[in-house]
Chain A
């Protein structure tokens, strides 16, 4: 089906075009560089809103598909498509990019052009990952986005940036190169790189794996994603990368890049290798739970505010992995929702920490204390975002965590019990950190003169706060669109004889819904 405008291709390559345009500007024309970058970012977000209007939440399968032949030997297609799972992840990316650009307005002083070029290329790469339906193309975008992130951390980061950047890239590449072996093995068995075709072949039983092979393939893909998420014990690159990255880098890293890992689990590991996924789910859930609790405990003892927020990522994404591998419709919906939540809340947290850094050039909590006195508006926003992160009802975090825990409880009560402990811990470390930083009297004299949030900062924070509230009270706006795709993923995990082939009844949505209802 050809569209008048290939929306997905535009979304992927518009930032690249913007980056090339940026290259043409003079290197010292910082004003126009920033303006052009912001214009590209906001324009991209506007284009992505078109996705919302073009998306049909009743249809199953991929939408807005674009399929072209690319390489003839081996047969690789340029295949893009979007469904409920990737829809909001793309929107998250396009939202966080202009926010990152605005966040770095004054804090990046040198090599400004290169910074925004890297940021835009990063955005293009990440969107490409979310919309690729061809395994080769997916891998290409996956690897490509490593380089701008590497530069972002290594050039514009803080003191230990080179170490952090190198650790980040080598660790991630290690996982992804094994995934490449897995992709090629899959290609050798099925004869194609095209994801929908592979799914059909596996579902119909025309191609099947021995349990060992399926386990190995699952492992190859899962390792790459587990490193990205990061899942305990592959998380050691995260605190360093997050802490040493510049603010925009941290926002993009935490907000979007980590979701690539969980997206991959949902898109590849579950539907393609269901038996292995089911077999290994208990072990993975244990790792997730350890991540939740361990991440929370380590966050509690941090004195560096940014490192604390980094560890919250480990903890929160443990919830997401738990939700995915509990494999109930509710928990997977919750996991998807929590991915979006984490992007917004942790993105906002890093934004706030970055604003503090802009003022005092430190992240140490001992250097702060009683900041609510000179910066009341800022303190209010920080509290709001912390409450969202710890899961206060009416805010977005609650919806996600509740869905995950409820969905997990129906399948595995023990897992949910342990996971719930993590919720308690997150309140501890977040509120404790908030108290140490903001409440009480001003302990360090120079903090008295700190300026409150500027209008630029306030506008960013209002946007994020509004989204947090909206996602907390109006979640059906999102879940109604993701529901079908989540159900489809779980359907594909069922053995071939029981489930109806999803795409066989194309063009007859009522028939499909009916049969999937019956098959439950």
Chain B
């Protein structure tokens, strides 16, 4: 039962996929779509509950290709929460854009399965399978607005570049296998001959593939276009879920395979600086809020890389905590964008948010909370996440990296505050939709806000869990 979450997700995905044609045979058929939505929510909740099984049954699974330890449970939890929030928020968006529900929900669930496999993989081909399952679902989801050229462009870019990256990944696996004769992560160290060039090259290619997935410099250029073009709920999923899963695999390789990690400190160090700086500087000049959030995702990936560079248990735990906090913030932010953007996502400029606080004070307050958390304001999860990264970096004696991280936070403050300024301090430039907020969106905003404040004030439980998870990794 160690793969219970994946089984549940897969099963519900298949059920929805099979039921979809029956439920949605005409656009006027509301009830059918609601059944599908409900099924998806139940499936995700079931998967979250099913995490209980691997959590209490640590060990290898599925012929040893997967391992359930504290680390994989933590990442499963993050992925589960992200998927739950996306599935809650998506239906109202899909209704407004007149897009079918069934395929969307099924694809999201399948993508979640792939991410779960990635989180628990201890064998490289399985990791590849997980990577592919989650990626292919993402490619299709990115192009979900079939009639929109931006969406198609985004998906095309994502697909081509993603396939290249996966090819690198596969080639890396081949080289690793060639030099050690095994693809099982725990066995690589024993089988590795010292200083083998082929092994180093293999890991280098592996990291290129993974770096693409987490949008680390210099492989981050696809992120803004893809995140901007994809439908907003999909962006919410893309910016958090696959990133968390890929970071998890990255961490696992670095932590458990000694042959891999001693060379890579400088590569990660440089990548962290480039990623942070690129992300923040380019976000600062954006006027489109969605694109700005996309570039800021790149910046946050850079912050997580700083935690990687620290190379101690605190660093791994900090990265995990950051992923959890970051997931909540980003899903909340993109959900708000999805709702307020209007049909066809036309209203995404900063000016379109001007005066929002007047008309929809609660939505503006929630969005401000997400932005303040992304900024790193105390009392929010984002501050503690950055704080832990700072702490880990200073423990690892990375003074320069810490100072650069601090300076980047200031640049971040500038562009996040700009949106808050527009919402609260400017006159409205357009009419805002006056309908009631859809239930799903309200649920997501509430859950995300509550989670952010909870993590910001009482992080001990989650952080202790993260530290134990990090210790499991060694």
Contacts and interface: CB of A to CB of B under 8 A. Distances in A.
Interface in B278-323: none
Interface stretch (B141-149, B190-198, B457-465): B457-465
Interface stretch (B41-49, B54-62, B70-78, B372-380): B372-380
A166 B390 contact: no
Interface string A173-192: 11001101100110110000
B377 to A, nearest CB: 6
B460 A71 contact: yes
B406 A151 contact: no
B425 A181 contact: no
Given A73-B467, A147-B377, A161-B425, A185 B394 contact: yes
Interface string A148-174: 001100110000011001100110011
B413 interface: yes
A177 B378 contact: no
B414 interface: yes
Nearest to A171: B410
Contact of B413 (A136, A139, A170): A170
A139 B383 CA distance: 11
Nearest to A156: B425
A161 B424 CA distance: 12
Contact of B391 (A150, A154, A169, A184): A184
A162 B383 CA distance: 24
B425 A162 contact: yes
27 contacts: A71-B458, A73-B464, A74-B391, A136-B387, A139-B378, A140-B383, A141-B378, A143-B377, A144-B378, A147-B372, A150-B417, A155-B425, A162-B426, A165-B421, A165-B425, A170-B413, A173-B413, A177-B407, A177-B409, A177-B410, A180-B387, A180-B390, A181-B402, A181-B403, A181-B406, A184-B391, A188-B391
B359 interface: no
A173 B410 contact: yes
B417 A169 contact: yes
Contacts of A150: 417
A72 interface: yes
Nearest to B379: A144
Given A72-B464, A169-B417, A187 B391 contact: yes
B378 A143 contact: yes
Interface in A128-145: 136, 139-141, 143-144
Contact of A166 (B394, B407, B417): B417
Nearest to B418: A166
Nearest to A139: B378
Given A136-B387, A147-B377, A150-B417, 18 more contacts: A71-B460, A73-B460, A73-B463, A141-B378, A147-B372, A162-B421, A162-B425, A170-B410, A170-B417, A173-B409, A173-B410, A177-B409, A178-B406, A181-B390, A181-B394, A181-B402, A184-B391, A184-B402
Given A161-B425, A162-B425, A178-B406, A144 B394 contact: no
Interface residues of B, number: 30
B395 interface: yes
B258 to A, nearest CB: 26
Contacts of B390: 180-181, 184
Contacts of A72: 460, 463-464
A166 B422 CA distance: 12
Contacts of A177: 406-407, 409-410
Contacts of A146: 377
A141 B464 CA distance: 24
A169 B416 CA distance: 12
Q: Quick one: which of A73, A161, A187 has the most chain B CB within 10 A?
A: A73
Given A154-B421, A154-B425, A140 B409 contact: no
Nearest to A72: B460
A84 B374 CA distance: 38
Contacts of A151: 424
B464 A166 contact: no
Contacts of B383: 140, 143
Interface of A is mostly: helix
Contacts of B413: 169-170, 173
B424 A154 contact: yes
Which of under 10, 10 to 19, 20 to 34, or 35 or more describes the interface residues of A? Answer: 20 to 34
Contacts of B387: 136, 180, 184
A72 B384 CA distance: 13
Interface in B64-118: none
A170 B414 contact: yes
A139 B402 CA distance: 17
Nearest to B406: A177
Interface string B441-474: 0000000000000000011100110010000000
Contact of A140 (B379, B403, B407, B424): B379
Nearest 9 CB-CB pairs, A to B?
Answer: A140-B378, A177-B406, A154-B425, A143-B378, A72-B460, A184-B394, A188-B394, A174-B410, A184-B390
A140 B387 CA distance: 11
Interface in B389-414: 390-391, 394-395, 399, 402-403, 406-407, 409-410, 413-414
A70 B421 CA distance: 33
Interface string A213-240: 0000000000000000000000000000
A71 B378 contact: no
Nearest to A216: B399
Interface string B349-386: 00000000000000000000000100001110001000
Contacts of A136: 387
Contacts of B391: 74, 184, 187-188
A290 B391 CA distance: 37
A146 B406 CA distance: 17
Contacts of B426: 162
Interface string A72-112: 11100000000000000000000000000000000000000
A76 B127 CA distance: 39
A73 to B, nearest CB: 5
Nearest to A185: B394
Interface string A229-262: 0000000000000000000000000000000000
Nearest to A187: B391
A155 B358 CA distance: 12
A139 to B, nearest CB: 7
A188 B395 contact: yes
Contacts of A178: 403, 406
A144 B459 CA distance: 18
Contacts of A188: 391, 394-395
Contacts of B377: 143-144, 146-147
A262 B286 CA distance: 38
Interface string B111-150: 0000000000000000000000000000000000000000
Interface string A304-335: 00000000000000000000000000000000
Contacts of B379: 140, 144
Contact of A180 (B406, B414, B425): B406
A155 B394 contact: no
A188 B394 CA distance: 7
Contacts of B459: 71
Contacts of B402: 181, 184
Contacts of B467: 73
B398 to A, nearest CB: 11
Nearest to A186: B394
B273 to A, nearest CB: 16
Contacts of A140: 378-379, 383
Interface in A460-518: none
Contacts of A144: 377-379
A181 B464 CA distance: 23
A394 to B, nearest CB: 44
A518 B378 CA distance: 45
